[in-house]
A = this chain, B = another copy of it.
């Protein structure tokens, strides 16, 4: 039998194959080694394997009619899986019809989970056929036929003719959805980076990742500069609402900080900031609105309304970011006025949207966010803990960086351990919990939080420890932790009160959420503790001061670190995780604690330290 054979040339690669008449374009493409995107298995129902026949033709199938309009059909668009070849043809294969060859499996950002590396922002190199008298398509048409999209802002359209010709019609396109966001001459697809940020009320943390490999390249963190405008969200909202100029000032402070941190990350990793294609930003609702320079007034007064809930894509320049000038920025979706994008980020990092067990997640920060998963639903609340657990508003408090006392034990005297090992400079959150637990255990602080004087103490306290009790200038009790060269590091009665407020607020939130859910702490399958310092606090001490509840099975408690930042990283690497954050924002019910009658009572009770 003599079967007629035909030649199929695939553009822009130029790969070609000779196949018998009657072969589908899909099968011919497979023979050439193309990995075509066919979620429907090649049944003509998903419309993903779009290709354009630029020379020759195939018959228009029923599937083609479903997925293409008249002018597209006229221009040669077909579904490869259904198009049967009867003569020599040339086929343009858009990048969007190929399975992304970068796909890999990464794990262990946030809670250990498998994530496919498929960033929401893509970077694709294409070698376009050069223009000639026989192929005088416009520059943008040429791009659209290869890439599957020609959606481009005017600023880039102005660059397009030069960029294409500078690279002999080889160019790299950065694409978000169907929107082209950057054009480079030649192949720059190897330079593809992303930055993830968590803007906390007190601490801002950021990471630089390689979006080709998923690898972490650099980390930075610093105090949120807005602390100088007020150390909790309410005081910042009040500041921002005073005038347009005040809003610009408080917003400009965080914008400048993020911009600087972007620069630091790129310098650390020796990466050109122009190659950062995407930035994801988690943070509570107020932090995100201030970062976006949105007047937060409606957020600060009844009925507490946020400007947006769904995640927002913004180009970096629209946010006043100059360093990563080519980046598309994703602002995390928020659940409610006080349960924000940090919580949705924590939810995707902890994977509790997909985990069907009974779970509680606590994100400890200046706001404590608590999420309960029960009976298949997520409920979330936030409580204003204040910055004590991040070392702020504490007389000798500091962030958990070099010089911070991070761990305190009592034996016959006080034993401390300092980050970096040198002279202590102050105490960070984990050590504040430690010292409070130690003072409680020693009987120096009572369950009401009162710090006793040396005179009031019994003889049970080791002399070296008792000797550290003194009074400050105002005559209030003070406990000297360490005497550094420059100054003494102590904890005061006032510091203990701040800690009581912070711990009490979070604990009351936990209690109310469990109560609303009708579930007891021991019925939970797992308790996840998140927070910038969550890896370091000692569970028994956190339980001693009442911050965390006692559970019969301590193994149920898992520390997941800075889950908000981890969530921001995941959204950078995985379109599916970013989408999950959007779903989490819609599916999580927000319980407003400030409107809850029981909360004040719970709060008052939880402020007391538990009896031992």
Copies in the complex: 2
Supplied contacts A144-B310, A160-B307, 13 more A-B pairs, CB within 8 Å: A70-B583, A74-B587, A136-B590, A137-B305, A138-B305, A140-B309, A141-B308, A141-B309, A153-B318, A154-B292, A157-B292, A158-B292, A162-B295
- 8 A Cβ contacts from A313-358 to B: 314, 318-319, 334, 336-337
> Do the beta carbons of B310 and A150 come within 8 Å of each other?
yes
Within 8 Å CB of A592, what residues of B?
A: 133, 136
Q: Are B141 and A294 neighbours in the complex by a CB distance under 8 Å?
A: no
Contact residues in B for A139 (Cβ distance below 8 Å): 298, 305-308
Cβ A131 vs Cβ B298 within 8 A: yes
Q: Which residues of B contact A132 (CB under 8 A)?
A: 303
Report the minimal beta-carbon distance from A319 to chain B, rounded to whole angstroms: 7
Q: Could you tell me the distance in whole angstroms from the C-beta of A449 to the nearest C-beta in chain B?
A: 34
Query: Please, what's the 1-or-0 string for A103-141, where 1 marks a CB less than 8 Å from any CB in chain B?
Result: 000000000000000000000000000011100111111
Closest B residue to A590 by CB, please name it: B136
Chain B nearest CB from A249 CB (Å) reads: 16
Instruction: Provide a sorted-by-A list of 23 A–B residue pairs whose CB atoms are within 8 angstroms.
Output: A70-B583, A71-B586, A75-B586, A133-B302, A133-B303, A133-B592, A136-B305, A136-B590, A136-B592, A137-B305, A138-B309, A139-B298, A139-B307, A141-B309, A150-B308, A157-B292, A157-B294, A157-B308, A157-B312, A158-B294, A158-B295, A160-B307, A161-B307
Q: Is A582 an interface residue (CB 8 A)?
A: yes
A474 at the B interface (CB under 8 A):
no
- CB A174 to nearest CB in B, in angstroms, measures 19
Tell me if B138 and A71 are in contact (CB < 8 A): no
A155 on interface, CB distance cutoff 8 Å: yes
Query: Does A82 belong to the interface (CB within 8 Å)?
Result: no
User: Once the chains are docked, how many angstroms separate the CA of A308 from the CA of B70?
Assistant: 20
| Contacts of A236-294 to chain B: CB distance below 8 A | 292-294
Chain B residues with CB under 8 A of A302: 133
Contact between chains at A310 and B141 (CB < 8 Å): yes
Chain B residues lying within 8 Å of A144, measured Cβ to Cβ, are 310
> Whose C-beta in chain B lies nearest to the C-beta of A285?
B138
- Please determine whether B336 and A136 come into contact, CB atoms closer than 8 angstroms: yes
Given known pairs A161-B297, A586-B74, the reply for A319 and B136 (CB within 8 Å) is: no
Chain B residues, CB < 8 A from A308: 138-141, 150, 157
A154 touches B305 (CB 8 A): no
Contact with B along A211-222 (1 / 0, CB 8 A): 000000000000
Assembled-state Cα–Cα distance A72/B507 (Å): 34
5 closest A-B pairs by beta carbon, nearest first, are A138-B309, A140-B308, A71-B586, A138-B306, A154-B318
A residues with CB within 8 A of B: 70-71, 74-75, 131-133, 136-141, 144, 150, 153-155, 157-158, 160-162, 165, 292-295, 297-298, 302-310, 312, 314, 318-319, 334, 336-337, 582-583, 586-587, 590, 592, 595
Contact A71 B298 (CB under 8 A): no
Provide the bound-state CA to CA distance between A309 and B138, in Å: 6
Q: Who on chain B is nearest to A584 by CB?
A: B71
- How far apart sit A160 and B161, CA to CA, in the bound complex (Å)? 37
CB distance from A300 to the nearest CB of B (A): 11
- Given A161-B294, A298-B165, residue A307 in contact with residue B75 (CB < 8 A): no
Q: In the complex the two chains form, what is the Cα distance from A52 to B70 in whole Å? A: 33
Please indicate which of the listed interface residues A137, A139, A150, A587 has the most CB atoms of chain B within 10 Å of its own CB.
A139
B319→A154 contact, CB < 8 A? yes
Contacts of A157 in B (CB 8 A): 292, 294, 307-308, 312
In the complex, how many angstroms separate the beta carbon of A356 from the nearest chain B beta carbon? 15
Chain B nearest CB from A159 CB (Å) reads: 9
Q: How far is the CA of A150 from the CA of B595 in the complex (A)?
A: 29
Residues of chain B within 8 A of A595, CB atoms compared:
133
